[in-house]
Chain A
């Protein structure tokens, strides 16, 4: 048997998409079966939403009913950003077993392993965003704009989650073990989330923190989602939000894919 006797299948570009869907299918099955993810993806965000609304509502706004109008658009970003920490953990888990070696020895497209993962995560964010809008509506939140901007608000939140998932994917793939990924995928999220216009108006923060909060991509996106939901000038923040999403993807997609190709 020489080289010519062994038939080598031709590589086809369409496989990138097929492989991505196969890997996404695998991850969706995992989401549905792992209780840990169910807790992270449903119970925790709902609990936080209720706590924020009823504990801080009176202090931040006049009452809970007024605060939820301010809070909920930001909370859509909160759930996807917190949810993205699971990508780091999931990838670190795959790396710590032998599974990634197997995937990398297959004729499948290499970026597809990561694209499938992030696609499945994006599906998770879509579910999370719908869940939070549902629960929020049940406790008094109302979109004050038309249906189309409301849908755009939800989709922007999901898109923002997709971008953040590539950051945590990079963290996951750089982590040596699951514990590291758990910590590294989570700690940096707190300042990014809290030092923004998500929970309170930026004006109430000290000056140095305002400087950070006003240039935080989370703020751009929260403000856009808020104006899409409640009305107001959209474009000023929308382009900044889309630019930061593009920026994050342009940096972290190549970094993550390159790292995956060269895992030692």
Chain B
């Protein structure tokens, strides 16, 4: 695989125009235009039910769009579906490995189905097991693997043919923080070899850590596209400060007092009563806030620094939270995955 400089102005490897797919009355993909540069990582960021999986399934030829076109390396995903399948790898939301087979058998099977000869499939299976740190578990049935190991094997399976384009649908959902970090490293390693990666995620932190470009998806539409930094800047920068007041009645006074710090981005959460504002100077901002509230005679119950999340992006871009049916689930994952602060 030749090295491809992402900065170079290469023609896009993925071109999506006016893509539309409805299930009954639900417009899962509601007119998406998107291009992906080769050798880059693009994240599709959105809550559950925003259409991420539907979009990926169309690009991977698993689902036919109602309208619009999608091309991968110039091949139409509907008319040239068979050819598209030979240049893509997919690791879907559910790990797609056979529990009853061993890790090695799974990879050999996938290699054979990508039409590698038996020797080559075995060689690559061995290489990938090494690369993903699964050599010791290679002869064990996948049933005995941990969640992180299954994910890694699943990812290895999607790469066995070294496809130039890999789709990862929520690759780190349900993983513990350590496995998540490991997977990010692997994904970055792939791109260094020239692979193009398109991944979906619910986590702003994930999009920020791995991707060159982020597209924010809301109800089947892309509402913002840019670099991770641009996205974070639009909701207050790398670090946010939250304040819980001892007495909710003093919220307005507190907000008024703090407006001198960052008037535009200060936000009062109507549900929780928390104040959120950008902490551009990190701890220095925190100290300023404490001093200002203290001198105004307002008691603080609790406060802290945090990273912006998908919710912040949505509140900024749409005025709504990233509400989904399974909110608890995504919130759990978020807390688990995000360290409490950043250097």
Contacts and interface: CB of A to CB of B under 8 A. Distances in A.
A8 B87 contact: yes
Interface stretch (A22-30, A46-54, A125-133): A22-30
A209 B183 CA distance: 63
Interface stretch (B111-119, B205-213, B291-299): B111-119
Interface in A1-16: 1-6, 8-9, 11-12, 15
Contacts of A6: 13, 73-74, 87, 164
Contact of B94 (A97, A104, A107, A263): A97
Contacts of A34: 100
Contacts, number: 104
A99 B97 contact: yes
A111 to B, nearest CB: 13
Contact of A98 (B11, B61, B93): B93
Contacts of B4: 1
Interface string B58-96: 001111000000010111000000110111101011111
Nearest to B74: A3
The interface size bin for chain B is: 35 or more
A18 B117 CA distance: 10
A173 to B, nearest CB: 15
Given A22-B112, A101-B62, A101-B92, A3 B75 contact: yes
Contact of A30 (B94, B97, B98, B196): B98
A106 B82 CA distance: 8
A34 B143 CA distance: 12
B76 to A, nearest CB: 10
A102 B82 contact: no
Interface string A13-44: 00100110011011001100110000000000
A218 B266 CA distance: 76
Contacts of B71: 3
| Most chain B Cβ neighbours within 10 Å, of A9, A34, A97, A98 | A98
A264 interface: yes
Query: Which of A2, A6, A19 lies at the interface centre, i.e. has the most chain B CB atoms within 10 A of its CB?
Result: A6
Contacts of A2: 11, 73-74
B247 interface: no
B101 interface: yes
A105 interface: yes
A1 B110 CA distance: 26
A1 B113 contact: no
A6 to B, nearest CB: 4
A15 B115 contact: yes
A103 interface: yes
Contact of A26 (B10, B38, B101, B114): B101
A3 B76 CA distance: 10
A108 interface: yes
Give the interface centre of A22, A98, A105 by most chain B CB atoms within 10 Å. Answer: A105
Interface in A71-105: 97-99, 101-105
Contact of B113 (A22, A29, A101): A22
Contacts of B158: 102
B129 interface: no
Contacts of B86: 8-9, 107
Contacts of B60: 105
Nearest to A33: B100
B157 interface: yes
A86 to B, nearest CB: 14
A102 B86 CA distance: 12
Q: Which of B10, B57, B92, B196 has the most CB of A within 10 A?
A: B92
Contacts of A103: 96, 113
Contacts of A104: 61-62
A101 B85 contact: no
Interface in B132-164: 141, 157-158, 164
B101 A5 contact: no
B119 to A, nearest CB: 14
Contacts of B113: 19, 22-23, 103, 106-108
A98 B105 CA distance: 17
Contact of A107 (B92, B105, B114): B114
Contacts of A9: 86, 115
B22 to A, nearest CB: 12
B101 A107 contact: no
Across the A-B interface, the 7 shortest Cβ-Cβ residue pairs = A3-B74, A98-B94, A102-B96, A107-B86, A98-B96, A1-B38, A6-B73
Interface of B: 4, 10-11, 13, 38-39, 57, 60-63, 71, 73-75, 82-83, 85-88, 90, 92-98, 100-101, 105, 109-110, 112-115, 141, 157-158, 164, 196
Given A2-B74, A8-B73, A29-B100, 4 more contacts: A1-B13, A1-B39, A98-B96, A107-B85
